[in-house]
Amino acid sequence: MSRMYKLIVRTENTTKEELSKVLVTELGWEETSLDDTEFEGEGCLCGGTSEEEAHEEISKFIKEINPKAKVKTIWYYLEDLPYEEYGDDID
């Protein structure tokens, strides 16, 4: 079973080319925004992979390219977002 996420990756000591190579080319995330310090995109985690495990994989790939890089990931689970409803009761 796969789970759909919005992913933000914040970094130091990287380039947008490095981020794109790892996140788009290697891991298959769909880029929605990219600069030298932040990637934003959407994609799925499959096979029971946790957000923490995916973070470790992303961090490992980025640090293989640039050992001085610092990496933080922020995960938004898109399939069960909180919401509010207002208005008339309609079925």
Q: How many domains does the chain have?
A: 1
Can you give the residue range of the structural domain that contains 67?
3-77
pLDDT for 91 equals 72
Residue 26 lies in a domain: yes
CATH number of the domain at 48, please.
3.30.70.270
Q: Which residues of 40-50 are buried (b: 16+ CB within 10 A; e: fewer)?
A: bbebbbeeeee
Between 34-38, 46-50, 72-76, 87-91, the lowest mean confidence (pLDDT) is in 87-91
Q: Is the pLDDT of residue 10 over 80?
A: yes
* Rounded Cα gap, residues 51 and 42, in angstroms: 13
Whether 38 maps to a domain, the answer reads yes
Q: Within a domain: residue 45?
A: yes
In the chain, the percentage of residues whose pLDDT exceeds 70 is 99
Q: Residue 3 contacts by C-beta under 8 Å, 6 or more apart in sequence?
A: 44, 45, 46, 77, 79
| Cα-based torsion angle of the residue sequence 45, 51, 56, 61 in order, rounded to the nearest 10 degrees | 40
Structure confidence by residue, pLDDT tens digits, 11-63? 999 999 999 999 999 999 999 999 989 999 999 999 899 999 999 999 999 99
pLDDT of 1 higher than 80:
no
- Residue 10 included in any domain: yes
